[in-house]
Structures are given as C-alpha cells and as structure tokens.
Amino acid sequence: MLNLNLISLYKMISPELQHIRKTFPLLSDHNTSTINHRSIAADLDGTLLKAKLSFPYYILIAIESGSLLRGLILITSLPIISFIYNFISESLAAKILIFITFCGVKYCDIEGASHALLPRFYAADVRRDSFEVFDRCERKVIVTANPVVMVETFAKEVLGAEKVIGTEIEVDVRTKRATGFVTEPGVMIGELKKVAVVMEFGEELPDIGLGDRRSDCEFMSVCKEGYMVPKDHFASLVSPQCLKNQLIFQDGCLERPSSYIIYYICLPFRFLLYPFRAYFNLSLIEGIARCAYRRM
C-alpha cells in the first residue's frame, strides 16, 4: 500500500529527473501495430477508457453501496465539484467526490459493489487504440486518481493489469466503515503518480507511458516513451469478446446504450426508478404465487 514513503522517495530523486518536462506525441499519430514494449504504465479515465470523467461511476458506487439519497446528493454537488476541478484544484475536487461517495459506508459494501457492478460498466467503455498498446505489453500497471478499491477488480480481471496504483481511502479500524478521507500521500495526481511509478518499477522504468491530460505528463516523463491519448467522442471501443474476462449484463436496464453521451445523461435517473421497479416486480411475483396457491 502506498504511504509516506512516496514523499521521501520523491525527495531522493535527482533534481534532473524531478524537473523533466516533455511534449508527447499523440497516440493517434503513430502506428500502434509497431509498438511492442515489455512494460507499460497507463492512466485509466480518458486513456484506457473513452470517458474522461469518472463521475458517473462514483454515482453508481454511491447508490449501490450507499443509498439513493447519497446518489442524489452527489448529483446535486456536481456543479460545485466541476468548478473546483476546472478552476481551483483537481486534487481537492477528487477529495470532495470521494468524501461524498464513501463517507460512512461499510468497506465490505464498497468492495462488493466494485466487484459485482462496476466492471460491467467499465468494460463497455474501453478504447480500442489505447487498449491494443496496453495489451501488447508484458507488464501492465495502471496509475489512476480513482480509489484502488473501485477499479482493481476491473483492471486485473478484465484488462489484465498486474497492479493498480491509485488513491487509498481511509477506513475506521473499529467500525470498518470508510471515513470519507484519503490516506497519505493523498490523491494520486501529478507528481505523486510519477513518484509511485518510480517506486513501483525501480531502475527498470516503464518502456511506455499513456496519459490523456496535463497532469499525466509527470509520470509519463520518467517512461522511456510516452503518448498522449486525444479526446475523441467517436473513438472505437473494444468488443467485450476481446477482453480478458467475459462479463454478462444480467439486468437489461443496466446495459449501455449505443450513445455514451445519452448513457451519462440517463444513468443517474435510471436508478431513481429502482424502487418502482422493485414494487411492481414484487407485486407481480405475489400475484403469481397467489394464483398458483389457489390452483393447488
């Protein structure tokens, strides 16, 4: 687990390595079939996934592991979080998002929802171009600002990642509930990503780094090669049959529509229909049971 050793390690890195800044070519400008490397460090949102923002996945986990009320609070706080993200601090916005989503929730419920629900949605949003490069490498590590508990199952079982380096959420040892805060060194963004990659790979730094935003340049700068994944609403997705693990969508209401933009708009409101769906389903089952009992 990542801790304060990251900060001490960062101070030990040579000044030349700390201040490296590079401009990286776009992944779309290169023939990915010629890229054949042994190790890779890649970001998740906007890089391996088409979606640049992870907010809808936080809504999913908030409703599934928490409650509908928690999901509604998260939805209403979106404008504030977006303003902080764009104009104040990406790290602060992530901390607020994590606090609202996980504060007071049992850690076992978070693990259960992350294992059973999220992989199906993540798997429907995997970009083909970046995944082809990622899958071609032998050693695969994902570096993300998302909590490890949210993405680890998907990253290892579906993408074939060896390890996930991400944000660790704080858990009360007595109640086994998330406090809503993150453990040191904090949200895995910017320089912390770079230090984490150096700590994980040691002298054998990654052959290739993939990212999609300015803060990703920090960890990409220590990789032997780096490529920026451009934002593309029409980027082709990986077929579920090409992933490492086959996922079955058991609930038709949870299936992703053809347009991912429509998906993001409709996703939170679909969960508001769950109480009504449960009521009518239970009423139907009760009616069938009564009818069968009368015929016996």
- Stated pTM of the model: 0.77
- Give CA–CA dist 114/138, Å, rounded: 26
Which carries the bigger pLDDT value, residue 18 or residue 35? Answer: 35
What is the torsional sign of CA 52, 258, 59, 49? negative
pLDDT at residue 276, rounded to an integer: 57
pLDDT at residue 229, rounded to an integer: 92
pLDDT at residue 233, rounded to an integer: 82
Residue 260 has pLDDT above 80, yes or no: no
User: Of 48, 57, 127, 38, whose CA–CA distance to 97 is shortest?
Assistant: 57
CATH architecture of 5-231: 3-Layer(aba) Sandwich (3.40)
Q: Express each pLDDT in 123-138 by its tens digit.
A: 888 999 999 999 989 9
Q: Express each pLDDT in 220-252 by its tens digit.
A: 999 988 999 988 888 889 887 778 776 544 444
User: 28, 212 in Cβ contact below 8 A?
Assistant: no
pLDDT at residue 38, rounded to an integer: 87
Q: What is the mean pLDDT of residues 99-103?
A: 95
User: 59, 268 in Cβ contact below 8 A?
Assistant: yes
| DSSP H or E run through 228 | strand 225-228
The partner residues of 139 in beta bridges, in order of sequence, read 39
Q: Express each pLDDT in 155-164 by its tens digit.
A: 999 999 999 9
**Which pair of tokens denotes residue 7?**
């900060």
Domain residue limits, the chain: 5-231, 260-296
